[in-house]
Amino acid sequence: MEPQEEANIDSRDLHPDKSGKKISSEMFIAVFAIVISLSTLFVYIYQSNLMKQQQKMSVWPHLTIGPSVSEDAFTLRMMNQGIGPAIIETVQLTHDGDPLDGIQDLMTIVPDSLQSAFSYSSLWTGQVIMAGEPVDLFSVSSSGAAGFLAGELGAGRILLEVCYSSVYGDTWVTNGLQVEERECE
C-alpha cells in the first residue's frame, strides 16, 4: 500500500475569491454603519445650529427711539422692546447733516427766543439698556421749544442713529422705529 499523500488544502481554495461579483456581508454592514454614523453627525450639527439660533433669539434686543410731543412738552425717548440687553456701540446725532457732540446739544439749535430749561440723559459706548427699560434722552417743557424740536425732527433735520449689540455680538442700527441688522460704523 502506498502511503496517502496529505493534501495541503488552503482555506482560500474552499471559498473562491468573489471580488467584483458580490459585496460580502461584512462590507455591507461596514458601509451601512458609516452611513448611519454620518447621518447622525449631520443631525447633531443641524440640531446644534438650531440651539445656537434659539440662544441668540432668547437675548434679542430691539431699541426704538421716538418723540413724545404735547402742547407744551417734547420728550425724545428710547426703549428696549426686545427680550435681552442692548449694549450701546455708537451714537451719531446730526442736525442738517452736521454732527452734534451729544444729546444736550439739541438745545443749541433752538432759537434764543425759544430757549428754556431742559433735561437729558447721555448715551455712551458700553452702556447697557435692559429689556423693557425706557430712557428719556431729552426733555423740554416749553411750548415754543417743544414745537420747534418736533418740527425739526418731523422734517428729518434731526437724525439720531444708535448702533447696539446683543451679548452674542450681533449688531443692529436704529434711527427711530426702523431697526436694521448691520455692522456699526
Task: For residue range 19-32, list pLDDT tens digits in order.
Answer: 555 668 888 889 99
pLDDT at residue 137, rounded to an integer: 93
What is the distance between the alpha carbons of residues 118 and 137, in angstroms, rounded to a whole number?
11
pLDDT at residue 51, rounded to an integer: 85
3-state secondary structure of 94: strand
Q: What are phi and psi of 174, to 5 degrees?
A: -120, 145
pLDDT at residue 174, rounded to an integer: 93
User: Distance from CA of residue 153 to its chain's centroid?
Assistant: 28
Is the pLDDT reported for residue 85 higher than 60?
yes
Is the pLDDT reported for residue 89 higher than 70?
yes
Q: Is 139 exposed, middle or buried (0-12, 13-18, 19+ CB in 10 A)?
A: middle
pLDDT at residue 184, rounded to an integer: 87
How much of the chain exceeds pLDDT 90, in percent?
46
Q: What angle do CA 67, 70, 72 make, to 5 degrees?
A: 115
* Rama region for 100: left / alpha / beta (φ>0; ψ in -120 to 50; rest): beta
What is the distance between the alpha carbons of residues 53 and 131, in angstroms, rounded to a whole number?
19
Q: What is the DSSP letter of 77?
A: E
Is the pLDDT reported for residue 131 higher than 90?
yes
pTM, whole model, 2 decimals? 0.71
pLDDT at residue 6, rounded to an integer: 53
